[in-house]
Amino acid sequence: TERELARLDRLHVIGEMAAGIAHEIRNPMTTVRGFLQLMGSRQAVPPKDMLDVMVEELNRANSIISEFLALARSKSTDRKRQPLNRVIAAIAPLIQAEATLAGKSVLLELRPCPELELDEKEIRQLILNLALNGLEAMEAGGQLSISTCCEGDCVMLEVGDQGSGMNPEVLGKLGTPFFTTKEQGTGLGLAVCFSIAARHQAKLTCRTGREGTVFTLRLPMNGAPSPDIHA
């Protein structure tokens, strides 16, 4: 029956994801175990860079698990009518700090928009994931721009960078869990973004070129327009 097929389909997806997770977590564990064994056999204080690598690898395993959990959640649990601009303002200092640390800048252009039914934690996560990707894409420095505006029956959020863009092969794989071109990447950031967008009935699209990449999220303003306009 259709229902049974849907269930098997889901099991299949879960199986695939589990295999991916197992693989991704095993890599950092193997690295850390190797270092620990080496330290045990030498009975010496390990050099600082070895310890740094171990911490980094454990951090990576940790992000894989938390991003995977975000992905596995099927429903937004905490939706409230609120202005998107306020959610952005809440996460902006963190993005600003990351940018400053890396010698890059951030431009916020938040235009007045009506309130939307949003899960604040999820939308923060989505913006953060897009912003971090944008910052990481600008190896030679540059400006990350985050903007909002109203367009038709949608509130539009754009996160743009001045990186070198993506080739068609990378573009075609965006959102595939565990797809990454980065040495320390989890390949889960965009998959999480797409699943959060879907849970908000929103569309996440991307345009990319040699001058950079822009991700656009279109959140529908369902129902009557709200009289509350927030800058």
The least distance separating Mg ion from the CB of residue 121, rounded to whole angstroms, comes to 18
Q: Using CB atoms, what's the residue nearest to ligand ADP?
A: 189
For ligand ADP, what does the binding mask look like between residues 152 and 171, x meaning CB under 6 A? ---------x-x--x---x-
Asked if 187 is part of the footprint of Mg ion (rule: CB under 5 A), the reply reads no
- Residue 99 — φ and ψ, nearest 5°? -65, -45
Name the amino acid, one letter, at 167.
Answer: N
Identity of the residue, 166 or 221, whose beta carbon is nearer to Mg ion in the bound complex:
166
The reply to whether 125 sits near ligand ADP by the rule CB under 6 A is no
Is 195 a binding residue for ligand ADP by CB under 6 A? The answer is: no
- The residue from 68, 189, 195, 219 that contacts ligand ADP (CB under 6 A) is 189
Tell me the closest approach of the beta carbon of residue 28 to ligand ADP, in angstroms: 14
d(CA 207, CA 184): 24
- Nearest distance in Å: CB 47, Mg ion: 29
Only segment of 52-60, 103-111, 128-136, 139-147 that touches Mg ion (CB under 5 A): 128-136
The yes or no reply on residue 182 touching ligand ADP (CB under 6 A) is yes
Stretch that binds ligand ADP, among 16-24, 79-87, 110-118, 184-192 (CB under 6 A): 184-192
Considering the rule CB under 6 A, would residue 142 count as an interface residue with ligand ADP? Answer: no
**What is the biggest distance separating any 2 CA atoms in the chain, rounded to whole angstroms?**
70
Nearest to 225, CA basis, from 153, 161, 118, 128: 153
137/131 Cα distance (integer angstroms): 10
**Cα distance between residue 148 and residue 132, in whole Å:** 18
The C-alpha atoms of residue 158 and residue 217 are separated, in whole angstroms, by 6
- Report residue 93 as tokens: 């200092």
Answer whether 81's CB lies under 8 Å from 226's CB: yes
Contacts 24+ apart (CB under 8 A), 173-180: 174/206, 177/17, 177/20, 177/71, 178/20, 178/23, 178/24
Under the binding rule (CB under 5 A), the answer on residue 189 touching Mg ion is yes
Binding residues for ligand ADP, per CB under 6 A?
A: 129, 133-134, 137, 161, 163, 166, 170, 174, 179-182, 185-191, 213
Binding residues for Mg ion, per CB under 5 A?
A: 133, 189
